[in-house]
Amino acid sequence: MSKKVLITGILGQDGSNMTEYLLNNTDNLIYGMQRRSGTPNLDNIKSFIAHERFSLVDGDLTDCASINDLVMRIQPDYLINFGANSYVGVSWDTPLSVFDINACGVIRCLEAIKKHKPDCRFYSAGSSEELGDVDYSPQDLKHPIKPRSPYGASKAAARHLVKVYRESYDIYAVHSILFNHEGPRRGCEFVTRKITKKVAEISQKIKNGENFEPLKLGNIDSRRDWSDSRDFMKGVWLMLNQDQPKDYVLASGETHSVKDFVTKAFNAASIPGLWSGEGLDAKFRLFQENTVMAEIDERWFRPAEVDLLHGDPTTAEQELGWKRDISFEQMIEDMVKNDIKQYK
């Protein structure tokens, strides 16, 4: 018998990838929640918006009545929460809004489940930014929580709230620490997509013999544990379908610097180059030429930086049988090719 799945953040990378995964691998009915604000961008869901098992519904994580109404009306068997204000840098400018969506939004979902569908299984998407300063690496669920941004603090709060409701009300609620995950549907506000879009632009301008402005970046030495978002969706679904609810870390177990990401992105566009210089003087130049394609702009540095995030997926691999299939290089290649196609 088909189950009902309500997914928040449907227009984003993870919400749309989760929906596509479920439509392709289950017979479930999917309800994708969008927040009405002007004209929504439906690009990420255009491949399945007309699917017979998909419905687009309006809702707002900042509005209790809205979430209560959806849970009461749909009676979902699963509520997967990918809705969030996910931009770490922006969280310094709008900390109250970030907490209202990322932390209080989780409370609103859990309260709606408690009141109207207590057997609904709930998933909360966490972030490696919850961990902040690194005490040891790779990082697992036992790592101290020391966020370095309002965004990281809001996700840490969400993690604690899931645990409180799980233990207090016997709700099947889980939270996973998702290390950095990207893909062609990644929002343009994220540094990875900023890189691949700019690489696509430079690629086309080089072909057309046009001048271009170089890619401008902040801290290129920070190291992250990057995976493809599409690989994480199977892990999320596995977490929701265990005998007992439990939190997990989803990660690749590998780290790469922003500098590495830039190099591989240009390579994916067949534009080989080399880094030279250190600190603010670092530049990425076209191989055997002096053309600068990427350089440092101190305006892109954050008030507080996390230099290393490196996840330990061992428990998820051993207990859930989860593994990633898409390599770091393949993920970047897919993103660059998609952006070149869109640029044309």
Q: What is the pLDDT of residues 169-208, one digit of tens each?
A: 999 999 999 999 999 999 988 999 999 999 999 999 999 9
Given a cut of 80, whether residue 305 has pLDDT beyond it is no
Is residue 133 located within the same domain as residue 207?
Answer: no
Q: What is the pLDDT of residues 235-286, one digit of tens each?
A: 999 999 999 999 999 999 999 999 999 999 999 999 999 999 999 999 999 8
Q: What is the pLDDT of residues 124-155, one digit of tens each?
A: 999 999 998 889 999 999 999 999 999 999 99
Residue 38: the pLDDT is: 66
Is residue 136 located within the same domain as residue 263?
Answer: no
Residue 81: the pLDDT is: 98
Is residue 44 located within the same domain as residue 63?
Answer: yes
**DSSP annotation string for 142-203:** TS--B-SSHHHHHHHHHHHHHHHHHHHH---EEEEEE--EE-TT--TTSHHHHHHHHHHHHH
Q: How far apart are CA 107 and CA 128, in angstroms?
A: 20
Partner residues linked to 33 by β-bridges: 8, 57
Which residues span the domain enclosing 51? 4-184+228-253+309-325
Both tokens of residue 217?
């970046």
Residue 281: the pLDDT is: 92
Residue 37: the pLDDT is: 73
Residue 169: the pLDDT is: 98
Pairing state of beta strands 283-286 and 273-276? antiparallel
Whether 57 maps to a domain, the answer reads yes
CA dihedral 193, 197, 200, 205 (to 10 degrees): -150
How many domains in the chain? 2
Instruction: Supply the CATH number for residue 55's domain.
Output: 3.40.50.720
Instruction: Supply the CATH number for residue 265's domain.
Output: 3.90.25.10
Amino acid letter, residue 38: G
Given a cut of 80, whether residue 63 has pLDDT beyond it is yes
Given a cut of 90, whether residue 306 has pLDDT beyond it is no
The pTM of this model reads: 0.94
Q: Mean per-residue pLDDT for 162-167?
A: 98
Q: How confident is the model at residue 307 (pLDDT cuts 50, 70, 90)?
A: confident
Is residue 208 located within the same domain as residue 128?
Answer: no
Is residue 149 located within the same domain as residue 217?
Answer: no
Given a cut of 80, whether residue 62 has pLDDT beyond it is yes
Residue 323: the pLDDT is: 94
Whether 264 maps to a domain, the answer reads yes
Given a cut of 90, whether residue 92 has pLDDT beyond it is no
Q: How many CB atoms sit inside 10 A of residue 101's CB?
A: 23
Is residue 297 located within the same domain as residue 237?
Answer: no
Q: Mean per-residue pLDDT for 320-330?
A: 97
Is residue 122 located within the same domain as residue 137?
Answer: yes
Residue 68 has phi, psi (to 5 degrees) of: -60, -45
Whether 331 maps to a domain, the answer reads no
Q: How confident is the model at residue 44 (pLDDT cuts 50, 70, 90)?
A: very high
How much is the mean pLDDT over the chain? 95
Is residue 268 located within the same domain as residue 314?
Answer: no
Is residue 27 located within the same domain as residue 150?
Answer: yes
Whether 330 maps to a domain, the answer reads no
Given a cut of 80, whether residue 297 has pLDDT beyond it is yes
